[in-house]
Amino acid sequence: MDTDRIRNDFPVLQRIIKNKPLRYMDSACMSLKPRQVIDAVVEYYENFPACAGRSVHRLSHEVEEARRKAREDIKEFIGAKKLEEVVYTRNTTEGLNLVTNSLQVNQGDVVLTTDREHNSSLVTCQLLAARKKVEHRIVKSNPDSTFNIEAFKDALTPKVRLVSFVWTSNLDGYSLPAKEIIEVAHDNGSLVLLDAAQTAPHHEIDVAKLGVDFLAFSGHKMLGPTGTGVVYIKEEHYDVLDPFIVGGETVEWSTFQDHKFLDPPEKYEAGLQNYAGEIGLAAAIRYLKSIGLKKVEKHEQELNQLVHNGFSQINGVTIIGIRDPRLRGGITSFNIEGVMYHDVALIMNRNYNLMLRSGQHCVHSWFNASGIEGSVRASLYLYNTRDEVETLIEAAEEISKLD
């Protein structure tokens, strides 16, 4: 993969701060944006900044057509069968909330999550359990932090209505065996919702081959604009999801006494949408496809192996979660003995222009259960280089020597 050429597409990577290049390793939180995405967003605001679908004039038609083409790009990107299965959201959080809160459940039903869920899934299921009087159960991982398929099978009962799992963890980049999970859940008669926020930017997805019922991801983690996302809803499940937010664009007609909802996807896309963002997300998808997600995945794994090799030689550096770098994608969470994780991130930023995340990464439950206060997280993407990784290792080694 031609990383130098790729880096030239990202304006922010041309910045020099205190005579040092900007070294960005926080893509699991927010990816950088290539010029192609920025230009697509600007094109909307400069050439047809109008509402889609609500008017009959030229600009409105141009927006509607751009949105349709964007939805087509997304449909092909995830392997959906129909355009109507692609619902625009603001982010993964909204997608998870839409499905979990819209799903028709009965008192006594069960919702399963793992022990490494992002708060967007965990807390949503906790609130659902309290509000609808369903039971929320957690499937614990193996001691080595890998997925425990036997514990999952044991947790399945006829009452399990929904299996809501994070596909790829933002804690350590570990991916669950999604296809096996879906097959086992379906054999039990349960529906499956996958949080693909950390999967879509890095791995090829084919929802039809997976057979997944619902899948959510964000645009801002995969080179797209902020405030963009998608939830895939398998066509056959439209009748089990009630509208989550209602109002403009969701309704075909209304009287003072009654109303009729539009068909999906509009049924789930209330209010004026982020047109520029949707168009920008499609541009991001086209950009990733031009590079090739298999190449992106291979590049990240190679860099992550270098991080692992380097950290393994430094006394006092501990990798959090999954230890095997072949299972971690582009994410490494770590701590340095004797130095607070926030301080590690601050020193790396100040002295090396290395930009990492520190804290509990919205997986507070896992950290609290593990008795770990937090960690530093280096998350790599297609624009990161070997030189940057070497700088990260050098910085960790220097910090490990601090008294």
CA-nearest of 334, 326, 333 to 301 is: 326
Q: Are strands 317-320 and 331-336 parallel, antiparallel or unpaired?
A: antiparallel
Element (H, E) at 143: none
CA distance 35 to 28: 20
The three-class DSSP label of residue 343 is helix
Bridge-partner residues for 191, per DSSP? 162
Select which of 29, 51, 125, 362 is catalytic.
362
Say if CB 234 and CB 99 are below 8 A apart: no
Count the Cβ atoms, other than its own, within 10 Å of residue 163.
Answer: 26
Say if CB 196 and CB 231 are below 8 A apart: no
Terminal CA-CA length for the chain: 40
Distance of CA 354 to CAs 28, 315, 357, 386, 393, Å?
15, 21, 10, 13, 11
Beta-strand runs (E) in 196-353: 214-218, 229-233, 251-254, 259-261, 317-320, 331-336
- Active-site residue flag, 362: yes
CA distance 365 to 123: 10
Helix axis angle, 275-291 to 293-312, nearest 10°: 80
Residue 367, C-beta contacts closer than 8 angstroms, at least 6 positions apart: 360, 373, 374, 375
Backbone angles phi, psi at 103, to 5 degrees: -65, 135
CA distance 349 to 135: 44
- What's CA 31's distance to the chain center, in Å? 11
Beta-strand runs (E) in 297-367: 317-320, 331-336, 354-355, 357-359
Say if CB 210 and CB 230 are below 8 A apart: no
Q: Which residues belong to the active site?
A: 362
